[in-house]
Amino acid sequence: MYRINTTNKREKWKWVCPTPHEHRDWRVVDGFFECRSCGSVFRSLRNVQTGAEVPRDRVEVIGAEADHKGQFGEPTVR
C-alpha cells in the first residue's frame, strides 16, 4: 500500500498520470484519478521514482485532494 499526502508537494509530485505526458496535476474523483491536464480519468498512477504503475486500490490518498466529487458524483472534467 502506498500513501500520498497531497499537502506535501514533494511527495505528490512523485506520482504522475500514466500517459506519456506525465502530468502531475491529478486528484481523486469518485475513487479514480482525474488528470486536470489530460481531462481523463485513470485507475492508476505511475511512480516516477520506480516507474511502477500502481492501481487505485493500492494507493491511499490523504490531504485536501483526497476525494473530490463534482456535481452528482460525476467527474468534473470529461
Instruction: Flag whether 75 is in a domain.
Output: no
The pLDDT tens digits for 33-75 are 999 999 999 999 999 999 999 999 999 888 877 765 444 444 4
Interatomic CA distance for residues 13 and 77, integer angstroms: 21
Range of the domain at 7: 2-70
Confidence (pLDDT) at 52 = 95
Interatomic CA distance for residues 12 and 62, integer angstroms: 10
Interatomic CA distance for residues 63 and 61, integer angstroms: 7
42 by DSSP, 3-state: which?
Answer: strand
Average pLDDT over residues 15-27: 94
Instruction: Flag whether 32 is in a domain.
Output: yes
Instruction: Flag whether 78 is in a domain.
Output: no
Confidence (pLDDT) at 31 = 84
Instruction: Flag whether 49 is in a domain.
Output: yes
Number of domains in the chain: 1
Better pLDDT: 14 or 74: 14
Confidence (pLDDT) at 64 = 75
Interatomic CA distance for residues 21 and 31, integer angstroms: 22
Confidence (pLDDT) at 67 = 67
